[in-house]
Amino acid sequence: DQQVKQNSPSLSVQEGRISILNCDYTNSMFDYFLWYKKYPAEGPTFLISISSIKDKNEDGRFTVFLNKSAKHLSLHIVPSQPGDSAVYFCAARTTSGTYKYIFGTGTRLKVLA
């Protein structure tokens, strides 16, 4: 039962354009959402997060949007750069029982120069 879903396994975007990565979730008990970026042969690195009480959080070129009614999370990267090419994971923290993080399956972003 995949509670956090990233339905697009891959995405290609031209340099300078906007990249939009999407994530859907099914559990209303998630209280925190995060995005991680992963390069080959490296562990994931934290990118940006958003609390469930907010609908937007911005950090430089990265903005995360949360639509609680649709149970949908998105990451916008503007402008996209070739160095952004990586696998992006969304994750959600569950508050039911003990805290733990549920990760999506990842979206491979390729930014074309």
Partner 1 sequence: KAGVTQTPRYLIKTRGQQVTLSCSPISGHRSVSWYQQTPGQGLQFLFEYFSETQRNKGNFPGRFSGRQFSNSRSEMNVSTLELGDSALYLCASSLEGQGYGHEQFFGPGTRLTVL
By the rule CB under 8 A, 106 interacts with partner 1: yes
By the rule CB under 8 A, 10 interacts with partner 1: no
Whose Cβ is closer to partner 1: residue 99's or residue 112's? Answer: 99
Judge whether 23 and 74 are in contact, CB under 8 Å.
yes
CA distance 49 to 82: 22
Whose Cβ is closer to partner 1: residue 65's or residue 103's? Answer: 103
Q: ∠ CA 113-87-66 to the nearest 5 degrees?
A: 105
CA distance 71 to 27: 8
Residues 39-58 that bind partner 1 (CB under 8 A): 41-46, 49
Residues that bind partner 1 (CB under 8 A): 4, 6, 32, 34, 36, 41-46, 49, 89, 91, 93, 98-106
